[in-house]
Amino acid sequence: MRPSSTPETGTGVRPYADRDDGIVQASFTLPVRDSRAARTAGLEIARRMGLVRAEVVHSQPVTAGYTYLVLYGSFDDRVDIESIRREDFDIEYMDHDEVDAFVASRIGRPLVVVGASTGSDTHSVGIDAMLNLKGYDGHHGLEAYDAFSVHNLGSQVPNAKVVAHAIEVEADAIVVSQTVTQQDLHIHNLTELVEMVEAEGLRGRTILVCGGPRISNELAKELGFDAGFSKGTFPNHLATFLASSVAERVSVPRAA
Amino acid sequence: MTSKLNLDEGVVLACRAAAEQISADVIAKTDDKTTVSVERTVLRLLGLEGADEEGVPLANSVVDEVLREGGLDRGAAFWVGNGLIQTEMSLESLARAVVDGSVELCTLPVEDERMARDVVERGCRERIEELSAARSDRHEMRERLGENSQPLSYVLTATGNVYEDVVHARAVADYGGDIVAVIRSTAQSLLDYVPDGPTTEGFGGTFATQENFRIMREAMDEWSEENERYIQLSSFCSGLCMPEIAQMGVVEGFDNMVNDALYGILYRDINMVRTLIDQRLSRAINGYFGIVINTGEDNYLRTADALDAAPSVVASQFVNFQLASDSGVPAEQIAVGNAFEIHPDVPNGFLLELSQAQLTRELFPHCRVKYMPPTRHMNGNPFRTHACDTLFNLVTVATGQSIQTIGVPTEGIFTPHIHDRVLALENVSYVATAAAGLAEEIEFRSDGLIQRRAQEVLKAALEILEEVAEVGLFEAIAEARFGDVSRHESEGRGAEGIVSKADTYFNPLAEVLGHAPVVHS
């Protein structure tokens, strides 16, 4: 039974440590010598972050002129979940077998997926986790599904090559991964892909998806993708999205 | 060192023999070719630094021009030697004249071929003597200041801005780090030139340029003198400019270089012939000047399952070692690679990892071993990663690894923030202090899990090596024998930069390096 001190909705939520206390941990470095001034500046930063009763529990020099601080403080406000509710809060993901069965019955052929880690990004880990037979953390990638025919182009693939390949194999979906995000490199690269896809007139028939540790669904949609997947994504999440999106698209003309 | 794993010496010898055959076959298949990067390295060594107004390095312009004129099969050095005699210009003026089109190197008259070769060979010898003297001075500085005992902590700085990297490197040194690596910007490996000058913009790393190397060396020399402990520097001789970066490292006083033979082929899709030619000169340079090289077997474990791929890691260690050895690198300067990438949920994963780390240590007793932290299964929870790194640090100490790349808590989230490395180094030092004598104290039970696992992995590695020796390394890579990645001889980046040597091919650098004694090891 849920204790009365943990209201979930209606009154709103806040961080929970061992009761409805709002306790938050923060750690950061200040470019200041380890000193009372550094710790006091840390507390002021916590205050402006909206934390009350903040205390510095640890500080140490990082190198000359830099100090690392660990603080705790309380967030006294609440966030009402209902006020921020979005459609993706309640998505139920299909598992591997369910996706295969769904695609077989609703679409009747494997979906063609072109994937790559694009631009200058050398990291293949993300795209491989989603697409390779072995997958990630015990979850097989899309190559293992009957529902997908996968073309994994690997890492450091120019956007133009991804688009050309998608046209060649009549891809149902393009899935790209971006790992390096320093100085918003990924934004430029992803924007370029969207522009190319639109220029080639693929937008209507190809689902466009991106993923990576620092990519959110919101960011992806803002850039013109159909969806974005971040940390914690397993191949069946992507598979569910692709299968249901393609099914939606094919069902529209059928219904008309 | 007595074996804790009860390895069959016959199997070890058979692995070495297969690797020798594989390496000899690679040399036979690549010895009649040169590459644009090899040729640029010769010119850089002769002192051709700098770039034109558009940032194109002079070494690139000259080599590209000789290639265009159809003369690269004789080696760039010959044409430059002849050009120096015919025009009576300095090397840099000659290069600039080639850039502006006022001199066509291959159409200049050749009066005396012997003189043309002699002038660059003499220049090359003088330059190598100069660099050797500077290396000896650095060697003395290291001896005078002293260093930590092994395992040495290898730490990457990667802010993208060389001046911020200096601040991060100082924090690393303050917390006991031993080797600071200037990790390159992502995609630098695919540039067929080395960018020029200091850089303040980079992605996932800071460009490896000669000026960035110099800035970092100066800052770390200053720290070393102030604190009376020598800090080593490292970077990456990989990609399309392997030997050039080796040469730059020598000039700027670097001590260590990641310099794998197969990495670029498998993970950057660089043509295998190109890489295998380039790695040879790159490693010859590092070997000659006393620079420690690191192989990159850790990378296989990022694309293949750590337990399944263990034999291929060992097989690759043998191949990488042999290729380095055949390029003239003494065993003491070869640091073979390994990594702790077994999934944290695997029962007895720690024991299996102890087995693998000990195996690497015992198979290459004269080598250093560079041990890499868990990355692949680090899930973004910095606290779990920190815990996993503690076990990694314990394996490092328990198996007597020589160099460890430190694991940082924010692995898999972003390039480390300044305090992430400090937390990581505190973890390293905590374990190294608390378990200082562990390696001498422990033995492994006869026929226990650890011994059996090592013996099985070694046996499977021999099978791979014998199969690779049978078909040759090129075909083996095409069959995805390493890292589950398949590449083909005719494909990959940089193939257009390979040129067949003419009978008159001349490379003074390779000749001097090949025939002179090693400076110090």
Q: Is residue A40 situated within a structural domain? A: yes
What is the predicted pLDDT for the residue at A232? 82
Task: Name the closest residue on chain A to residue B412, using Cα atoms.
Answer: A213
Q: Is residue A31 situated within a structural domain? A: yes
CB-based contacts of B292, cutoff 8 Å, min separation 6: B255, B256, B257, B286, B333, B334, B335, B368
**In chain A, which residues have their Cβ closer than 8 Å to the Cβ of B414?**
181-182, 213-214
What is the predicted pLDDT for the residue at B24? 97
Mean pLDDT (chain B, rounded): 93
**In chain B, which residues have their Cβ closer than 8 Å to the Cβ of A156?**
187, 190, 268-269
Q: What number is the average pLDDT over the span B335-339? A: 95
How large is the greatest C-alpha to C-alpha distance in chain B, in angstroms? 74
- Mode of pairing for the β-strands spanning A111-117 and A148-152: parallel
What is the predicted pLDDT for the residue at A182? 64
Q: Which of B170, B180, B184, B186 to mutate to test the interface with A (most CBs of A within 10 A)?
A: B186
Residue B423 or B377, more confident: B423
Least confident of A127-141, B248-262, B348-362: A127-141
Least confident of A176-190, A236-250, B157-171: A176-190
Task: Name the closest residue on chain A to residue B422, using Cα atoms.
Answer: A62
What is the predicted pLDDT for the residue at B518? 44
Q: Is residue A251 situated within a structural domain? A: no
What is the predicted pLDDT for the residue at B171? 96
**In chain A, which residues have their Cβ closer than 8 Å to the Cβ of B269?**
154, 156
B315, B361 contact by CB (below 8 A):
no
pLDDT over 90 percentage in chain B: 83
Q: What number is the average pLDDT over the span B76-103? A: 96
B377: contact with A, CB 8 A cutoff: yes
Same domain, A207 and A146: yes
Q: Is residue A7 situated within a structural domain? A: no
A63–B203 CB contact, under 8 Å: no
Reported as a pLDDT band with limits 50, 70 and 90, residue B513 is: confident
Q: Is residue A87 situated within a structural domain? A: no
Distance, in Å, from the CA atom of A68 to the CA atom of A202, rounded to the nearest integer, reads: 50
A122–B267 CB contact, under 8 Å: yes
We report the CATH number of the domain holding residue A59 as 3.30.30.60
| Tens-digit pLDDT profile for residues B5-20 | 999 999 999 999 999 9
A185: contact with B, CB 8 A cutoff: yes
pLDDT at B3 over 50: yes
Q: Is residue A29 situated within a structural domain? A: yes
What is the predicted pLDDT for the residue at A214? 83
> What are residue B365's phi and psi, to 5 degrees?
-65, -30
Q: Is residue A254 situated within a structural domain? A: no
| Tens-digit pLDDT profile for residues B215-231 | 999 999 999 999 999 99
The closest of A241, A212, A246 to A227, measured between CA atoms, is A241
Same domain, A124 and A206: yes
Least confident of A128-137, B32-41, B157-166, B319-328: A128-137
Q: What number is the average pLDDT over the span A1-19? A: 68
What is the predicted pLDDT for the residue at B515? 56
Reported as a pLDDT band with limits 50, 70 and 90, residue B492 is: confident
Q: What number is the average pLDDT over the span B388-413? A: 95
Same domain, A199 and A141: yes
B203–A182 CB contact, under 8 Å: yes
| Tens-digit pLDDT profile for residues A88-143 | 777 789 999 999 999 999 999 999 999 998 887 767 778 888 888 767 777 888 98
What is the predicted pLDDT for the residue at B1? 56
> Which of A60, A125, A232 lies at the smallest CB-CB distance from B302?
A125
Q: What number is the average pLDDT over the span A1-6? A: 45
pLDDT at A255 over 70: no
Q: Is residue A13 situated within a structural domain? A: no
The closest of A157, A161, A104 to A126, measured between CA atoms, is A157
- Residue A49's domain spans which residues? 23-75
> B166-170 long-range CB contacts below 8 Å, 24 or more apart?
B166/B215, B166/B216, B166/B219, B167/A63, B167/A66, B167/B418, B168/B418, B168/B421, B169/B216, B169/B219, B169/B220, B169/B223, B169/B231, B170/A63, B170/A64, B170/B219, B170/B223
Same domain, A105 and A227: yes
pLDDT over 90 percentage in chain A: 61
What is the predicted pLDDT for the residue at B97? 97
What is the predicted pLDDT for the residue at B275? 96
Looking at the structure of chain A, the number of domains it has is: 2
Same domain, A107 and A229: yes
Same domain, A142 and A45: no
| Tens-digit pLDDT profile for residues B430-441 | 999 999 999 999
Same domain, A125 and A230: yes
Reported as a pLDDT band with limits 50, 70 and 90, residue B414 is: confident
The closest of A184, A116, A178, A62 to B160, measured between CA atoms, is A184
pLDDT at A7 over 80: no
What is the predicted pLDDT for the residue at B72? 97
A68–B204 CB contact, under 8 Å: no
Q: What number is the average pLDDT over the span B90-112? A: 96
Distance, in Å, from the CA atom of A119 to the CA atom of A113, rounded to the nearest integer, reads: 18
Reported as a pLDDT band with limits 50, 70 and 90, residue A252 is: low
Instruction: Write out residues 195-234 of B within 8 Å (CB-CB) of A.
Output: 201-204
Same domain, A55 and A172: no
Q: What number is the average pLDDT over the span A39-46? A: 98
> Which of A66, A124, A185 lies at the smallest CB-CB distance from B303?
A124
Same domain, A112 and A60: no
What is the predicted pLDDT for the residue at A135? 72
Q: What number is the average pLDDT over the span A224-228? A: 92
Same domain, A41 and A103: no
Same domain, A219 and A132: yes
| Tens-digit pLDDT profile for residues A51-81 | 999 999 999 999 999 999 999 999 999 999 8
> What are residue A15's phi and psi, to 5 degrees?
-55, 145
Same domain, A69 and A104: no
